[in-house]
Amino acid sequence: MEKEPVRVCVTGAAGQIAYSLLLRIARGDMFGSDQPVILHLLDLDFMMESLNGVVMELDDCALPVLVGAIATSDPAVAFKDIDVAILVGAFPRKEGMERADLLKRNVSIFKAAGEALNAHAKKTVKVLVVGNPANTNCLICQRSASDIPAANFTCLTRLDQNRAQVQIAKKLDVNAQNVSNVIIWGNHSSTQFPDARFAQVATGASSQFAPALIQDDAWLKGDFIKTVQTRGGAIIKARKLSSAMSAAQAIVDHMRDWTYGTSGESWTSMGIVSDGSYGIPAGLVYSMPVRISPGGAFQIVQNLEINDFAREQMEVTAKELIEERELALQFLA
C-alpha cells in the first residue's frame, strides 16, 4: 500500500540554501525513495516570481517521490497540516549591523512563525530551525508555539558536526564516513565547542578513539576547534556567499536521523531545548549529543566525562546563548 505523503514546509524557499535542498527532498534523499512528499514553499511576496520558477524546475525533474508543490507567501497556507517545517528564511546580518538589531529583526520573524505553526501545523510537526542565529531563533519559535511539544523543536548544528568529522578524517587520511560520535556543544556560532574526545574512527572490523590515533592534543584543542568554529566565515570569504550545498546536506542528514533514528551506539548533535543535563540551564536551546529512536524520540547521551577544558568551552558558548536569550526575550515581550 502506498504511503501517505509527508508534507514538508521550507521557508526562504527561493533562496540559495533551499535551491540546493529542495531537489534532495524531492528525490527521496531525506525520507526515502518510497516516501511521497508534498512541498509547501514559503517566501516573501517579492520572491514569488522566482519561487514559481523553482516550482517549474521541480516539475521538470519529473521525480516520482514529489507528488505536489505549493508556492505561497501566506504562512497559514504554508504551514497547513504539515509534518515537517524547515525554517531556512531569516533576516541576514548586514555590514555594520549590531547583534541586537539582528536579534530584534529575527525575533519578530520567528515569533510569527511559531504562532503560525501553532495555529495551522499538525501538533506532531517536527521543526528544524536553520536561519541564524539558529539557536535563539529556535527558542523564540518554540516559545511562541505553546501547543507543540518543546522536543519537536531543534536547530541545525549538523553542519558543524559534518565539518568536524571531515577535519578529523583529513588528519587521519580516512573517509569522513569512518568518523562518528564527534560532538558539537552549544551555539551555532564561533563560540561552539567541537569536541573530538569521544570520536570514533572505524579501522577495519573495529574502531578506535580519534585522539588516540591523532596523538596531537595541541591540534585537537587548537586548530581543529578554530577551523570548525570559523569554517562558515572562510567559505563566505572564498565564495562571497554563505554555505548552501553543505548546509543542504546537513539538513538532509539531520532530518533523516530525526526520522529513522541513529544506529547502534552512535549519536548525533542537535540543538535542542535543554533539560539541565551537563549543567546547561534548562530551557536554553543548546547543541548536545543525542541518540534517536526510529520515529524521532531522542535522548541526550548521558554520563560523558566533562574535564576542565571541556567545561570551560561549554560555559563560554552557554554564556553567549544566555545573553542572546535575554536580549531576544526583551524584544519578545
Residue of 66, 64, 22, 65 lying closest to 43 (CA atoms) = 22
Q: Is 14 helix (H, G, I), strand (E, B) or coil?
A: coil
Which cell numbers hold the place of 199?
570520536
| DSSP single-letter state for residue 240 | S
Number of other CB atoms surrounding residue 236 within 10 Å: 12
Q: Is 188 a catalytic residue?
A: yes
Which cell numbers hold the place of 123?
501538533
Residue with cell 511521497: 36
Contact call for residues 114 and 143 (beta carbons, < 8 A) = yes
Q: Is 8 helix (H, G, I), strand (E, B) or coil?
A: strand
Residue 188 sits at the vertex; the CA angle it makes with 187 and 190, to the nearest 5 degrees, is: 90
- Bridge partners of 203, per DSSP, are 206
Radius of gyration in angstroms for the set of CA atoms belonging to the chain, rounded to a whole number? 19
**Ranges of H-type helices in the chain:** 16-26, 48-60, 75-78, 99-120, 134-143, 158-172, 210-214, 217-221, 223-229, 231-239, 245-260, 308-332
Query: How far, in Å, CA of 134 to CA of 311, rounded?
Result: 22
| Peptide bond before residue 149 is cis, with ω within 30 degrees of 0 | no
38: left (phi over 0), alpha (psi -120 to 50) or beta: beta
- Residues with catalytic annotation? 188
